[in-house]
Amino acid sequence: MGSRLLAALSATALLAACTTSQQPTDAEPEAPTPLAGELATKVTTDAMWVHLEALSRIAKANRGNRADGTPGGEASVEYVVNTLRDKGFEVSTPEFSRVETVDVGDPSLTVSGMVYQVDQASLLLPTPKGGLTGTVVQPVKPAGCAAADYRKVPKGAIAVVDDTGCSVGEKAAAASEARATAVLVVSDGGSNGSPKGLFGRNYYEGLPIPVAVIGSSAGAAARKSQKPVKLVLDGKSVKHTSQNVLAQTKTGSTENVVLVGAHLDSVTAGPGMNDNGSGVAAVLETALALGPEPAVNNAVRFAFWGAEERQAAGSIDYVYGLDRDALNDIALYLNFDMVGSPNAGYFTYDGDLSGPADANPDPDTVPYGSAGIERTLAGYLNLAGKRPADSGLNQRSDHRVFLNFGVPVGGITTGADELKTKTQARLWGGKAGQAFDPNYHKKTDTLEQVNRDAMAITGPAVAFAVATYAYSIEGVNGVPARDKRHRTPLAR
């Protein structure tokens, strides 16, 4: 970090004006916290490179990747855990399960010669080879939530129920007790999805009989059928057990937690050095530089998520597992995914929704405070000589689940497989018409391809934002106080 930037950090931070992906803008000054500038200077490229080299060695020793559920993924978890513990952090590695579909099959329901496509709800329980054939039965109460709702069920029958009243698990248990061999749940979903409570967390665990979800047309045909129907659920899924890595400072308010995260896993195709070894290195080195007992007002929790490349399973499981108090204790979430792209751009998550509408969610769903986080991060980038642009909040990464639960979010990324424009190349350098990361999700995402110059900007930016909010969540760039958070956890 140059002396000019260090001097500037000790005197001023910048608030970003509204930015767009086409026209990044300058910012206006605001006084920073002393800790923010100090921590930013400690997170150096050389220090982050130590972690990247370690992750690279792990990938090379484990078939070229660090994917979740593989030896390379497990070794990556071990490295982060040991590094944090050596610094004095108390570290937890909560396990979570995820189901991965390895063969979608061709699930179907045949009624009087007509074939209907169905959804296989019983992910871990297919029908026997060749499917099940049985007489259709309907409970007296259409929901079918209790065995007593059924009358004279012939052995081997297939039950047809609606999507109201209780969960899929309860419907399957009731039908099974009444001697049915499978359940067809009629549910059209629609814009709001299935009814709340129909599919609970890990609903597929322990289903006693196969379950399919069918539309109203298939449901009407099945209910009218006087002949046996045939159900085939031949999709194949496997269950994996994975881990998140969590560490929190022993100091600071635990009612105003600054949560900062990066996903630890790579894709199976490659070692994942930019995606997301770069984010891991920046967040991990920020944790080490901050230490387990810093002089902060708000606790900082560091998270290294498992299975992000598997539909963000780790962060989703974490948030869904929080009760009301724990969810409201999180003041904000900072996410860092891909911060060392070879043909780097400098993007902040579009918390103020100033970018294209199609890249962002409904404005009413974006938690208050997200715009302030964007200003904090954009201000640092401006100060470091990189005018930021917007990255839409609709992008897939671990911040999405926090946003959906009302937690203010923010982050930085240097770009994935999108093409850099001529305007962006003039602004940031690099090659127009080429991807920000030509190695995205490929075996060529190696250590040699990570951009040291980009990491020299983004790594300190991570530290700056973490320290800013560890010092205070108040002010023009702040987030709602604890008594203003009214988040609702998922019913469990």
- Residue 407 φ/ψ, nearest 5 degrees: -90, 130
From 53, 177, 255, 308, the catalytic residue: 308
Question: What gap in Å lies between CA 492 and CA 232, rounded to an integer?
Answer: 30
Residue with tokens 């059928």: 225
Question: What gap in Å lies between CA 268 and CA 70, rounded to an integer?
Answer: 9
Strands (E), 187-305: 211-214, 229-232, 236-243, 245-248, 253-263, 298-305
* Cis-peptide, bond into residue 360, ω within 30° of zero: no
Question: Residue type at 138?
Answer: Q
Cβ atoms within 10 Å, residue 143: 17
> Quick check: 332 and 369 in contact, CB under 8 A?
yes
Query: Coil, strand, or helix at residue 159?
Result: strand
Closest CA to 165 of 185, 188, 189, 136: 185
Question: Residue type at 337?
Answer: D
Show Cβ contacts of residue 60 under 8 Å, excluding neighbours closer than 6 positions. Answer: 271
Cβ atoms within 10 Å, residue 233: 25
Closest CA to 247 of 203, 305, 297: 305
Question: What gap in Å lies between CA 454 and CA 334, rounded to an integer?
Answer: 18
Instruction: Note if 308 is an active site residue.
Output: yes
Residue by residue, DSSP assigns 19-48 as --SS----EEEE---HHHHHHHHHS-HHHH
The catalytic site residues sit at 308
